[in-house]
Structure 1
Amino acid sequence: MSAASTALRGRQILCLATQEWDANWTPVQQVMSRLAPENEVLYVEPFHALPSRLMRGNAVFQRQIREGVPALREVQPNLRVYRPRYPYAPWNMKSRAAHALNGMLYPAEIASLLRRTGFRRPILWAFFAQNLRVLDLGFSAFIYDCVDDWPSFFSHPVERAFITRIDAELTRRAQIVFVGSGPLLEKKRSQNSRVFVVNHAADIPHFAKAADPATVVPDDLARIPRPRVGFVGMIDELRFDGELIALLAENPEYQIVIVGGFQGNARKVVPNRPNIHVLGMRKVAELPSYLAGMDVCMMPYRRNETTRYIFPLKLFEYLATGKPTVSMAIPAVENLRHLVRVADSHEEFLAHVRAALTCDDPADVQRRMEFSRRHGWEQHVEKKLALIAGHLPLERLQ
């Protein structure tokens, strides 16, 4: 174990998560699962308003209710997951009255949970907070792990104002803040002097299986003709550029394959074309086999406020496969033009796809894979632990 790792060893950590544990894994689960072997972690899922228990809403949450998943459960040694159960009011982001009521319920439920589980002045590691009153419970330290620019995901002015206020207050009150990208650092550094960039990472050994000749391409992908230009991930209306996909599909030789789900009404973003194939969501365990069948991987992002601040999880996942990757020019890839074909326009994106299909050098495959090996989740967590060791005196974590 490194010296940095001992900064958090034998501690109790309360994690305020942005999604259910059983949802597709993001930095939230990746980080907490790697802290748990040396610490006691309590992962608190987001609360849902009382009406969402009775109607369709979050699919993972609904499945938990339907299947009777225990509210408090151990998912791995030293890591327990809790699903809030109090009767929260709807419209938490839009109604002051609802937010005030939830501001009484939420800290009361968390305080009860801490007593029940024997957590005494744990470290608070928040990826967001649905109500700021929870910060008043008394923690030995407060870490804000801000993986995205949350306000940019909300178009409704009231919701956006709410998220902006919460995000700014979390940033100001945290003793250390982690952000996922350089532009997000620039945005937040005036609010806190201890804001640090730790880019997202990937499960490198897992996604490197795509380069193994023994990996079998699934039947639903294998029957699609080549060349295949693929996208793996969630699609939303803010980031995914459907117009670019339509332009790409104008070449009837290209088969565009999308492996992933849709947020909200984002299905309408993807054009209906004979050579556009939407295969739907797949388990993370299956993704290397799908990536093995792609000829080019792509990140067809719009260039806007949202994509200015993101650092796509799929970036290092793609590089780990060795496949050529084409991306629109967002800040996350600007320093990786030696590894990623970066386009400043739709026309250049199309040209890059054409070049990737015709003249990719085997040496480039190895360079991409080698580079990705320095960006696994283990290195990601180690960097955060080193920053904690250097900027949070250990006596403050007692």
Structure 2
Amino acid sequence: MIDNLHNAQKKTFTDEISSYHDSAEYYDMIVFSHLRWQFVYQRPQHIISRMAKTMKILFVEEPLAYDENEDSGNIIIIDEMLHVLQPNVKDIPSIASIIPKYVSNESIPFGWFYSAVFYSLLDTVHFENVIYDCVDELSLFKNAPEHLFNQEKYLITQANIIFTAGKSLYEIKKQYHKNVYCFPNSVDQYHFAKALNGIAIPDDITHLKSPIVGYCGVIDERIDLELLHEVAKKLPNVSFAMIGPLVGISEDELPKEPNIHYFGLRLYNQLPNYLKAFDIAMMPFVVNDSTKFISPVKTLEYMAAGRPIISTKINEVVKNHGISVSLIETADEFSEAIQFSLDKRDRLSMELEYYHTLKKTSWDTTADKMKSIIKTFAK
């Protein structure tokens, strides 16, 4: 069924919504995501782009600011098999009202959810199979709605299959569902290994004083800004480069030191070029409820780029990469780890550790294994 579902199944039509079908298309899967396709390229993009090799997929984002004078939504054509819908509706439940305008089949073979905020669509759109890919414990995030926990409970009861992005999440979710599978975040090793080759370093980072300790990713409540500030003051001769967009925090909250540099959002294709400029890669996350279950994609991306890594003691990092990553808690330990990585780290040993880790995983393998599980349980 899943190997070539789009070609194997025929479109279904009904008289009630036939007026929409001139522009609507048949989709094998509809994906609902709180993470936008054209934002930071991460787990949803990696997995869904690979699923779209054999299934036609509509990737639906949360609504943009509503404008009743505009069309019901904006379609972005990624390729023939993958389209992104940016709904122009008042709220998430209203997405159901515009689905027939874009989707010709009444019955959707697969509904794939990245967030429980879309839970109401389970009652208004007919999915033959429901998949929940749990990437974070969103209910623990700052300003998370109180009802998000109950929404997730409902999504779990309706799901046929649950995937989790880490072992900690798996241990929690398996208590509530019998078909839970752990698929930790993986890596496109070929892409990030470009940092080891002769690619150019971007002009806007070449002026930074070496050594450069860098971060690539979203800059939000999960970054320990106080820790970053303290270590920057302790090591004024080290440049700290922050590559990524601000989310949920303002520029006023960012630490300001001459040796801390913010570059904003950069394209996925540009990241190996920036990583090439790093002497050390860092993951300065706070250790609290908001990071209790995260499995940072960037850990393996840093490894593929061959950078020494310093991280705070995030559960998934400690469990899976404690040997390969320098783990720290304080600014003093951070400073010592930087000096160690620059002066004493055995690069050959590090590269061997990275090799053994990276050979066990890839996004291609992850997507293939997910497809196999879905094929087993699909109705």
* TM-score over 0.5 (shorter chain): yes
Number of residues of Structure 1 aligned to a counterpart in Structure 2: 354
Residue 69 to residue 255, structure 1, CA distance change in 2 (3 Å): farther
User: Quick one: distance in 2 between partners of 1:178 and 1:270?
Assistant: 34
Q: Look up the equivalent residue of 1:146 and give its one-letter code.
A: C
Task: Report the equivalent of 1:127.
Answer: 114
C-alpha deviation, 1:372, in angstroms: 2.4
Q: Which has the higher helix share?
A: 1
Task: Report the equivalent of 2:99.
Answer: 110
Task: Report the equivalent of 2:361.
Answer: 375
C-alpha deviation, 1:298, in angstroms: 0.5
Of 129, 135, 142, the match for 1:141: 129
User: Quick one: distance in 2 between partners of 1:30 and 1:110?
Assistant: 24
C-alpha deviation, 1:168, in angstroms: 1.9
Task: Report the equivalent of 2:25.
Answer: none
C-alpha deviation, 1:305, in angstroms: 0.6
User: Quick one: distance in 2 between partners of 1:241 and 1:73?
Assistant: 35
Residue 269 to residue 202, structure 1, CA distance change in 2 (3 Å): farther
User: Quick one: distance in 2 between partners of 1:121 and 1:261?
Assistant: 34
Task: Report the equivalent of 1:62.
Answer: none
1:89-130 superposed Cα distances (whole Å, 9 cap, x missing partner): 5xxxxxxxxxxxx63x33222244333xx4633211111253
Q: Look up the equivalent residue of 1:83 and give its one-letter code.
A: Q
**1:77 maps to 2:80:** yes
C-alpha deviation, 1:69, in angstroms: 12
8 Å contact from structure 1 (residues 339, 364) kept in 2 = no
**1:332 maps to 2:319:** no
Task: Report the equivalent of 2:283.
Answer: 299
8 Å contact from structure 1 (residues 36, 77) kept in 2 = no
C-alpha deviation, 1:373, in angstroms: 4.2
Of 5, 22, 33, the match for 1:10: 5
Q: Which segment is superposed worse, 25-34 or 124-133?
A: 124-133
Of 252, 260, 284, the match for 1:276: 260
8 Å contact from structure 2 (residues 310, 337) kept in 1 = yes
Structure 2 SS opposite 1:139 = strand
Residue 162 to residue 39, structure 1, CA distance change in 2 (3 Å): same
C-alpha deviation, 1:75, in angstroms: 1.6
8 Å contact from structure 2 (residues 40, 218) kept in 1 = no
8 Å contact from structure 1 (residues 316, 375) kept in 2 = no
Q: Which segment is superposed worse, 21-30 or 294-303?
A: 21-30
Structure 2 SS opposite 1:43 = strand
User: Quick one: distance in 1 between partners of 2:86 and 2:279?
Assistant: 41
1:291-323 superposed Cα distances (whole Å, 9 cap, x missing partner): 101111000111001111101121111011111
C-alpha deviation, 1:284, in angstroms: 1.4
C-alpha deviation, 1:70, in angstroms: 7.4
C-alpha deviation, 1:266, in angstroms: 4.2
Q: Look up the equivalent residue of 2:372 and give its one-letter code.
A: A
Of 221, 224, 243, the match for 1:241: 224
Return 5+ residue gaps in structure 1 as ranges. 1-5, 55-64, 90-101
Return 5+ residue gaps in structure 2 as ranges. 7-27
C-alpha deviation, 1:256, in angstroms: 1.1
Structure 1 SS opposite 2:87 = coil
C-alpha deviation, 1:347, in angstroms: 3.1
1:233-262 superposed Cα distances (whole Å, 9 cap, x missing partner): 11112x111121122112222111111121
Of 150, 157, 173, the match for 1:172: 157
Of 189, 196, 206, the match for 2:191: 206
Residue 365 to residue 47, structure 1, CA distance change in 2 (3 Å): same
Residue 149 to residue 69, structure 1, CA distance change in 2 (3 Å): same
8 Å contact from structure 1 (residues 234, 262) kept in 2 = yes
8 Å contact from structure 1 (residues 178, 198) kept in 2 = yes
Structure 2 SS opposite 1:141 = strand
Of 29, 32, 38, the match for 2:45: 29
User: Quick one: distance in 2 between partners of 1:242 and 1:84?
Assistant: 34
User: Quick one: distance in 2 between partners of 1:287 and 1:210?
Assistant: 9
RMSD value, Cα: 2.4
Task: Report the equivalent of 1:258.
Answer: 242
Structure 2 SS opposite 1:140 = strand
User: Quick one: distance in 1 between partners of 2:183 and 2:112?
Assistant: 15
C-alpha deviation, 1:348, in angstroms: 2.5
User: Quick one: distance in 1 between partners of 2:229 and 2:77?
Assistant: 46
Residue 20 to residue 245, structure 1, CA distance change in 2 (3 Å): closer
1:315-366 superposed Cα distances (whole Å, 9 cap, x missing partner): 1110111110010111111131221112244433322222111122231343
Structure 2 SS opposite 1:130 = helix
